[in-house]
Structures are given as C-alpha cells and as structure tokens.
Structure 1
Amino acid sequence: MKVGVEIIAETAVQIYPHSCFKIDLTGNHQLIQGFSGFDKYAFSGFVLRNKRVAASGRVAEYGFRGTLFGLGSWEAEEAKVAVIPELLSARFRLLLSTDLIPDRDSFIASFGLRLIAAGRRILLDIPLCCPVLEVMETAPGRYSVELTELLRERLEKW
C-alpha cells in the first residue's frame, strides 16, 4: 500500500525564516525508504488553520514565491506517497521534528495528521491532541507518534 502523511495546522501557526519540519516513518525501528519529508521556510508568516505545514515523501524549501509579498493564504506542497511494507507484526511510528513549536502540549494543540493514499484519498484526518493518538516527546521539538493500530485499521478498509 502507498501512503503519505501531511501535517495540518489546527490553529494558525507562525513560521520564521530557517524554521523546518522533518517527517520520518519507522517500521520495527527501521526507516521506511522514500517516506521522509523535509520542509524548510525562508520567510516569516502564518500557515492558516486546515492548511498543510509539512508533508512526507519529498524535500521542499519555501520562500516568498506563491504569496503576495509574503501575505495571503499559503500551504506546503502535497505529500508524495511511499510504499509501506505489509508487515503483520510491524510497529509503526511517525517521527516528527520541528523548531516551530518546542513543547509537546503546544505542538499537539497546533497540528493534526492526515494520512493519504494514492490518488489523494484521505485515509485519516485527526488532530494530534486526539486521545487515540499516543504522542511522546523524545527531545525538545522531537515527537514520536504510535501509528500501528491506526495504519492497520485504515489499510484494511482500502
């Protein structure tokens, strides 16, 4: 199955020059090839609610291009899907790191998770503060999200 992840703003999120967001997925503690995403911002502004802040499967750097003098609605590029191995006993964890919001409570209140399949089908759209998600802070600005059951449940439906 091909899957991608997009990080969605649950509230308006301020971005700064040189801020970045990194996404990885592990299966049994091994990085899933082709899944990593990296977004770097070269301007100050806001990402509005329900807009993409970051996504998996590609590297993107953003400047003022695509905005009117840095104003207006803006969002990150779409995720590119990657093949997720069908490992029945695998444990899947989403690894997120950013310097945008360094503490866990603000982080989970500010962002949501969107799982997408090929063809931009949305498999899941959920705020990180939802109680069914286990979000652990592994270091300041670094977070681990347990996705095993959610991935299995969503992939079985498709």
Structure 2
Amino acid sequence: MNESAKINIGKVAALKKLREKVSELSDVMKELGEPILDDLALLPAIYEAYKRVFQRRGCPDEATSVRNRKKFLMVVLYLYSPKALAGDRMRMGLRKKVSELFGLTTSTPISDNCAGLIVQYHAYADFRRDVDLIFQEVLNTLEDKLIVTD
C-alpha cells in the first residue's frame, strides 16, 4: 500500500455541503410546487369564469379555440399543478377533467397543448394579457369559496 495515500476529507466535506444544499433546494421546490387549489370540483366554476371573458368580448365561440384553450390550461396548471409548468407531470386526474370540460373524448390534446406554455406567456404580450385576465376572473369567481395566496 502506498504510504502517501490519505483520505480526502475535503471531498467528504464537499459532499456533506452539497447534500445540505440539495435538501434546501428540495424544500424550496416542494414549497413553490404546492398547488393553490386541490378540489377538482371547482373546475366547472373556473371554466365558466374563463368563458365569461370571451362572452364579454362578444366572441363566446373563441373560448374553445386551441390558442385560447392553452390560456385556460395555463391558469388551471398554475392553480392545480404548478410543477407541470416547470416540466413535471400533471396532477393525476386533472387532464381527464379538463378534457371533459372541453368535450374532448381523449386527453391527448390537453397534453399536447401544455407544451411551451411558459414560453408563450413570456414571448407573447396578448397571450400573457389574456392569461392574466382569465386568472383575475377566476380569482374573482372563487373569492367566496377560498382564500388564494400567491
């Protein structure tokens, strides 16, 4: 055995420090990823609030367009499954419930529509404006039913 071989305590200390940082980051991720809502029974009220935005504009049929459906999904994911907006899986059962709201027979379009929502929100002012407007309408609708904190 080589007499100059030594245990690298610096390596162990670095690993310990890294472990602590990973634990801290995990706690922050858990906190940031907590959904604002968990009761899926509120989804029909949220959908009605969404449709009201387009009714006020005099174009209720636009609520079912793919582009506008993405705006609804952005709000719903933010409320029920914020981790999904960051690339994690959508909360179990949410995709099916949203599909039903739109009268879809499969949930595949919902999954497809979720891709790139954050990019669209950042890149397109009209998309961002509408999402924020829908979000505000949803909050106004739900204010009597719950306390929403950001």
**TM-score, normalization by structure 2:** 0.28
Per residue, is there more strand in 1 or in 2? 1
Question: Could you say which structure has the higher helix fraction?
Answer: 2
TM-score in terms of structure 1 length: 0.27
Look at both structures and tell me which one has the larger radius of gyration over its CA atoms. 2
